[in-house]
Chain A
Amino acid sequence: MLASSSTRPRRVAGFLAKSAPAVISVGLLLVTWELYANHSGIKPTILPAPSRVLEQAILNRGALIDNAIPTIRATLLGFACSLSAAFVFSVLVDFFQPLRRALFPVFIVSQTLPLVAIAPLVVLWFGFGLAPKILLVALVTFFPMLVALVQGYEATEAEIGQMLRAMGAGRWRVFVLARLPSALPYFFAGLRISITYAVVGAIFAEYAGAAKGLGIYMLNAKNNFRPDLVLAAVAVSAVLTLVLFGLTVLLQRIAMPWERVGREPSGKGRRG
């Protein structure tokens, strides 16, 4: 306990030192943008300054929040559906290899569909409600998650499998005891990528047709010549994506404590 309380300030300092370059680069970008927008004579209806975007975002916070909620709902529900389906299919594929040859071509084709073309069609078929959004989010995130899981199972150390079978474990025990935990790093890598796709997918679906949501909000703002509000909505979606991304990182830290421990120098040395 003593050790952890003395390392905490050092860890915070380390985090600040690590994030400093990112803070500086983003800050520089915003300052340059602000200076250009204010002094080049460009009209705010073409390129608003970041300060104006922030000001308008605060003024319109009610509408932004109101429109962000359906987007968050579509993202999370779609992603949850996609994740459950990917897990079920990954298990099936792991146990019945022929299924992989039957299903993967279909899934790969699903990844080649241009979202621009498919989103309006899905809206046409399923209406302006939640269903087409969930479907589109699932469409863009399902395959990456499935591939991550299947690859993760296959990354199981062969000797662990051999040892478990020698212990008398059946296929299901080997799966639960070895293959599933071995897939965790791959799962989280897939999760980090897919969660960003999920937000983009939801906004795209709303763009193609929705009653409410950040996507349709952006479309309306654009049509009303309000780029400041478009950018405010973009900022909200960026924050939303970053928060979800951060959650996956946090989740990984909680789910895989051995990862952290292995990297920390513990004085005992890893080898020898």
Chain B
Amino acid sequence: MSRLELRHVRKAFGGLDVLADISLSVGAGEFVSILGPSGAGKSTLFQLLTGAEHGAGEMFFDGAPLDDHGRHFAFMPQRDALMPWRRIIDNTTLGLEVQGVGRKAARARVAPLFAEFGLVGFERHFPAQLSGGMRQRAALLRTVVQERDMLLLDEPFGALDALTRAALQRWLEQMWRHHRWTALLITHDVREALYLSDRIYVLSARPARIVREIKVPLPRPRDPTAAAAPLASALEAEILDILLNPQPFKGHDDD
């Protein structure tokens, strides 16, 4: 049973086709990635989901047309978008505050999560005092504590250095195994997609359409060295081949 389902979603910005034809689904407790070149319109897709933009095509959540956008998704933007003027604890309660949860109750709900997110002792710090990796974990904490049906992660590790990114990918995979969030991740990092996802949709360059859907049958917990395993490297080679040698579009029936 899929929770999110998109059928032939299209979007153009003034004559410029950004999304040509996107059909995809995300099941309950499934981690799905959308992998594509930069500027392919991946973030536009999230804007459609969160209601910031409107496009053509059909979008369903739990079988019902997607109308009340705020209810289903917790969105984590590319850069951490932490508010420099709020302490970490007040940044993490932001989503709850917008939902109308009182300050005290919101703090009580985020407090127990600080340990798991490796942020104990930094509750009263300002974002500028934290490292890039910690800021990103705080941003994820702010996202998951909203307890929405589904996480939308827009290149959450894109701005980090390679080592921090690798550490956070491992940490996120571990967190996901505990929590089994339904998640949709946007990325242009093939290894990141393979390491974290159950399934990957590969996007073409703009105008974006889905050129391939790839199941990732790698066992969990994912072995950090799995990138070297034969199956993983075969998948990686296949995806890179699709991305780097684009085939002329021949039609794709996945309904």
The answer to whether the Cβ of B31 comes within 8 Å of any Cβ in the partner chain is: no
Interface of B is mostly: mixed
Residue of A nearest to B143 (CB): A163
Residue of A nearest to B43 (CB): A162
**Contact of A261 with B70 in the complex, beta carbons under 8 Å:** no
CB contact under 8 A between A178 and B79, given known A167-B95, A173-B98: no
Bound CA span A175–B77, Å:
19
Bound CA span A165–B125, Å:
25
Within 8 A of B (CB), among A50-65: none
CB contact under 8 A between A262 and B94, given known A166-B50, A271-B132: no
**Contact of B77 with A268 in the complex, beta carbons under 8 Å:** no
**Contact of B77 with A168 in the complex, beta carbons under 8 Å:** no
Within 8 A of A (CB), among B69-117: 69-71, 73-79, 81, 83-85, 94-95, 97-99
How many residues in A have their beta carbons less than 8 Å from beta carbons of B? Answer: 27
Bound CA span A256–B129, Å:
14
CB contacts (< 8 Å) of A160 on chain B: these are 81, 83
CB contacts (< 8 Å) of B77 on chain A: these are 159, 162-163
The answer to whether the Cβ of A169 comes within 8 Å of any Cβ in the partner chain is: yes
Q: Which of A163, A173, A184, A262 contacts B81 (CB 8 A)?
A: A163
**Contact of B85 with A256 in the complex, beta carbons under 8 Å:** yes
CB contacts (< 8 Å) of B71 on chain A: these are 168
**Contact of B98 with A181 in the complex, beta carbons under 8 Å:** no
**Contact of A271 with B131 in the complex, beta carbons under 8 Å:** yes
Bound CA span A178–B133, Å:
23
User: How far is the CB of A153 from the nearest CB of chain B, in Å?
Assistant: 14
The answer to whether the Cβ of B161 comes within 8 Å of any Cβ in the partner chain is: yes
CB contact under 8 A between A166 and B81, given known A258-B126, A262-B128, A268-B130: no
**Contact of B164 with A272 in the complex, beta carbons under 8 Å:** yes
The answer to whether the Cβ of A266 comes within 8 Å of any Cβ in the partner chain is: yes
CB contact under 8 A between A157 and B95, given known A165-B52, A261-B126, A266-B129: no
Residue of B nearest to A160 (CB): B81
User: How far is the CB of A113 from the nearest CB of chain B, in Å?
Assistant: 37
**Contact of B75 with A168 in the complex, beta carbons under 8 Å:** no
B210-232 CB mask vs A (1 if < 8 Å, else 0) is: 00000000000000000000000
The answer to whether the Cβ of A98 comes within 8 Å of any Cβ in the partner chain is: no
**Contact of A166 with B132 in the complex, beta carbons under 8 Å:** no
Q: Which of A166, A181, A272 contacts B85 (CB 8 A)?
A: A181
CB contacts (< 8 Å) of A162 on chain B: these are 47, 50, 52, 75, 77, 81
CB contacts (< 8 Å) of B126 on chain A: these are 257-258, 261-262
CB contacts (< 8 Å) of A166 on chain B: these are 50-52, 69-70, 73-75, 152
**Contact of A270 with B128 in the complex, beta carbons under 8 Å:** yes
**Contact of A165 with B50 in the complex, beta carbons under 8 Å:** yes
The answer to whether the Cβ of B169 comes within 8 Å of any Cβ in the partner chain is: no
B119-148 CB mask vs A (1 if < 8 Å, else 0) is: 000000111111111000000000000100
Q: Which residues of A contact B (CB under 8 A)?
A: 157, 159-160, 162-169, 173, 177-178, 181, 184, 256-258, 261-262, 266, 268-272
List 30 A-B residue pairs with CB atoms under 8 Å apart, sorted by A's residue number: A159-B81, A160-B81, A162-B47, A163-B76, A166-B50, A166-B52, A166-B69, A166-B70, A166-B75, A167-B74, A167-B75, A167-B146, A168-B71, A169-B98, A177-B83, A177-B97, A181-B83, A181-B85, A257-B126, A261-B129, A262-B84, A269-B131, A270-B128, A270-B129, A271-B131, A271-B132, A272-B131, A272-B132, A272-B163, A272-B164
Q: Which residues of B contact A (CB under 8 A)?
A: 47, 50-52, 69-71, 73-79, 81, 83-85, 94-95, 97-99, 125-133, 146, 152, 161, 163-164
Given A168-B70, A258-B84, A262-B128, 13 additional A-B pairs, CB 8 A: A162-B81, A163-B75, A164-B98, A165-B52, A166-B50, A166-B52, A257-B126, A258-B126, A261-B125, A261-B128, A268-B131, A272-B161, A272-B164
Q: What 4 pairs across the A-B complex have the smallest Cβ distances? A: A262-B128, A168-B70, A166-B75, A166-B50
